[in-house]
Amino acid sequence: MSDRVLGVACVVVAAGMAWAATDYAAPISYEPVGPRAFPLLLATLMGIGGLWLIVRPSLRGNWLRQVPLQSLAFAVAAVFAYALLFETLGFTLATTVMAVPVGMAFGGSWKQALAGGLGLGLLLFLGFDKLLDVVLPTGLLSFILGGR
Amino acid sequence: METLQYLMTGFGVALSTTNLMVAAIGALVGTIVGMLPGLGPINGVAILMPLAFALKLPAETALILLAAVYMGCEFGGRISSILLNVPGDAGAIMTALDGYPMARQGLGGVALSISAWSSFVGSFIATCGIVMFAPLLARWALAFGPAEYFALLCFAFACITGLMGDAPVKAALAAVIGLSLASVGLDSNSGVYRFTGGDVHLSDGIQFIVLVIGLFSISEILLMLEQHHSATGIIKATGRALFNFKELTYTWCPPSAPRWWASWSACCRAPAPPSPAPSPTPPKNGWPARTAGSARATSAAWRRPRRPTTRRRSARSCRC
């Protein structure tokens, strides 16, 4: 069953790739194939692979049997929100905000998750930014942590 | 040969006490920095280069420090890949495939020590190889043209499908997905932006290390949520931290490959010195234990794909 879902996703992505790739044209080109050949080839191969998986899935499919869908959805949403809010909130706040749903999905209370996320965010920020001189966005906390 | 003469001079400089201590400290710091997922050896050296300037060391000591940091970072990536299944850099991906199942069975210390030992042996052989074969390799590298690169790519994709012997269609699909992700960005031949959606940040493509860490760590989080519902108790503390000789021989020849066993044990039965030759029979309790989750806990690079034993296969039971 999970193979079938993967197959459908691959077919959809391949269709999207092919639709986007047909627009690519090089204005001046002295090559027989342009920029659209390789993505179209990959889209074809992905579509064929996806169709194969839909028609002949493997035996191991215990999808949806005991999967905690709610906590999985929370974790995935938290990861997406982390990526989107990273620049605006800054590293520390974004890590704290992400740690709460993910920590609760793993069975912790929200206080534990909040404390852990805050500690992790601060420690990692100080370690990377001050110690190792790797630039991390400070975001909303720029008045405390110092930054542009 | 003047190479050997220069080498002797170099050894004379490198084996002084200060330089040896600096090398040890550099290796330790490099291991710690390399342990962080995402900081590979190149990033580690770049980050720690101000250290060499700030300490105002003489030139050769600074170079020894940075080289030791490089080696330490190479090894440090294995720690996170064995214990967390999150490869620190591109070179640690294969270690995660073998080392993480070992860590889950309580053999994490053994995996780490085997990784350290093989890292040492490998880099030693590589350094000797570079010293001896550098001019020849330079000539070969110049002769490596587009046709050879293409042949190398075909070989790589054939290896991918060969590694996942019981699901070759999925392996080929994974290779195609990887190639599609790599085609994001600027096309070098025609200058056309592919799949960037007008975003300027994607014009250089998706960075490989970001992809690797994202794929491995997020999938590890989701797998942990699915199967264990908690993150505790997955890696058992192990009583044994050092590998024994039998496990060392398994890095040369895994116990699950009968044909390799037969040919290699034939070589072992040749007149051998009194050192204990490993017995050609598989161990009694089987290393590693063949549980359902640890199907790939041997040196999977040499494992031949298992064929189903029955000839009659219905369409539903096709595992592809």
Q: Which residue in chain A is spatially nearest to B51 when comparing CA positions?
A: A132
Q: Is the pLDDT of residue B231 over 70?
A: no
Average pLDDT, stretch A89-109? Answer: 85
pLDDT tier, B256 (very low <50, low <70, confident <90, very high otherwise) = low
CB atoms A72 and B316 under 8 Å: no
* β-strand pairing of B185-186 with B193-194: antiparallel
Q: Pick the closest to residue A99 from A81, A117, A74, A86 (CA basis).
A: A117
pLDDT 10s digits, B37-85:
777 788 888 878 887 888 888 888 999 999 999 988 888 888 888 888 8
Say which residue, A10 or B86, is predicted with more confidence. A10
What average pLDDT does chain A have? 84
Peptide bond into A68 cis (omega under 30): no
The region of weakest confidence among A141-145, B14-18, B35-39, B254-258 is B254-258
Residue B286 has pLDDT above 60, yes or no: no
Distance set, CA A123 to CA A96, A119, A120, A129 (Å): 12, 6, 5, 10
User: Is residue B295 over pLDDT 50?
Assistant: no
The closest CB to that of A53, out of B169, B189, B190, belongs to B169
Which of B179 and B263 is assigned the larger pLDDT? B179
The least confident of B23-32, B158-167, B175-184, B228-237 is B228-237
Q: What is the pLDDT of residue B260?
A: 52
What is the pLDDT confidence band of residue B314, given thresholds at 50, 70 and 90? very low
- Confidence band of B20 (pLDDT split at 50, 70, 90): very high
Name the band, by pLDDT with cuts 50, 70 and 90, for residue B301: very low
Instruction: List the single residue in A17, A20, A59 with the smallest CB-CB distance to B317.
Output: A59
Output the pLDDT for position B293. Answer: 35
Which has the higher per-residue pLDDT, A30 or B268?
A: A30
Closest-approach residue (CA) in chain B for A135: B47
Percent of chain B with pLDDT over 70: 75
Residues 6+ apart with CB under 8 A from A122: A92
Tokens 């040196």 correspond to what residue?
B299
Q: How confident is the model at residue B304 (pLDDT cuts 50, 70, 90)?
A: very low
Across chain B, what does the average pLDDT equal? 75
> What's the pLDDT band for B259 if we cut at 50, 70, 90?
low
Least confident of A48-52, B17-21, B177-181, B295-299: B295-299
Which chain A residues have any C-beta within 8 angstroms of a chain B C-beta?
Answer: 3, 6, 10, 13, 17, 20-21, 24-26, 29, 31, 34-35, 38-39, 42-43, 45-46, 49-50, 52-53, 56, 58-59, 67-68, 71-72, 75-76, 79, 102, 105-107, 132-134
Distance separating the N- and C-terminal Cα atoms of chain A: 50
Do residues B146 and A29 make contact, with C-beta atoms less than 8 angstroms apart? Answer: no
Best-predicted range by mean pLDDT (B95-99, B242-246, B277-281): B95-99
Residue B266: which pLDDT band, with cuts at 50, 70 and 90? low
Q: Which of B181, B164, B238, B188 is nearest to B215 (CA)?
A: B181
Q: How confident is the model at residue B135 (pLDDT cuts 50, 70, 90)?
A: confident
* A interface test, pick of B173, B313, B314 with most A CB neighbours within 10 Å: B173
How many CB pairs (< 8 A) connect A and B?
96
pTM reported for the whole predicted model = 0.66
Q: Is B55 exposed, middle or buried (0-12, 13-18, 19+ CB in 10 A)?
A: exposed
Instruction: Please spell the DSSP secondary structure of B85-102, one letter per residue.
Output: S--SSGGGHHHHHHHHHH
**B156 or A141, higher pLDDT:** B156
Q: pLDDT-derived band of residue B228, with 50, 70 and 90 as boundaries?
A: low
Residue B198, Ramachandran bin (φ over 0: left; ψ between -120 and 50: alpha; else beta):
left
Kindly tell me the burial class for residue B185, based on how many C-beta atoms sit within 10 Å of its own C-beta (0-12, 13-18, 19 or more). Answer: middle
**pLDDT for residue B281:** 41
B149 pLDDT band, cuts 50/70/90, is: very high
Alpha-carbon distance of B46 to B39, in angstroms, equals 10
**Is A35 within 8 Å of B187 when comparing Cβ atoms?**
yes
